[in-house]
Amino acid sequence: MQDNSRDPRASNVPTSPVSTNMPVTGAIPPTTPPVAPQATPTTPQATPPTSTPSAPPQYAQRAEHGHSWRPLWIALGAAVLFGLIFGLGTLAGRSNGASTSSAPSGTDIEAATINVIHNVDPSVVQIQGRGGLTGGSVGSGEILTSDGYIVTNSHVVHGLSTYTVLLANGEQIPATLIGEAPSEDLAVLKVNATDLKPIAVGDSSKVVVGEFALAVGSPLGLEQSATSGIISALNRSAVEVVDGRRFTITGLIQTSAPINPGNSGGALVNFKGQLIGIPTLAAVEPSTGVAANGIGFAISSNRMKTIVNQLTGGALF
Active site residues: 155, 185, 264
Number of H helices, E strands in the chain: 5, 14
Backbone angles phi, psi at 300, to 5 degrees: -65, 150
The residue type found at 262 is G
Cα dihedral 190→195→200→201 (10° resolution): 30
Euclidean distance between CA atoms 290 and 40, whole angstroms: 36
3-state secondary structure 87-142: HHHHHHHHHCCCCCCCCCCHHHHHHHHHHHHHHHHHHEEEEEEECCCCCEEEEEEE
Instruction: Provide the 8-state DSSP code for 10.
Output: S
Please name the helix (run of DSSP H) or strand (run of DSSP E) that holds residue 294, with its range, or none.
strand 291-300
Q: Residue 266: name the closest of 207, 203, 215 by CA.
A: 215
- Number of Cβ atoms within 10 Å of the Cβ of 273: 19
Euclidean distance between CA atoms 203 and 277, whole angstroms: 10
Cα dihedral 229→223→15→215 (10° resolution): -20
The residue type found at 285 is E
Please name the helix (run of DSSP H) or strand (run of DSSP E) that holds residue 307, with its range, or none.
helix 301-312
Q: Which residues contact 138 (CB under 8 A, 6 or more apart)?
A: 5, 6, 7, 9, 10, 126, 127, 128, 129, 218, 221, 262
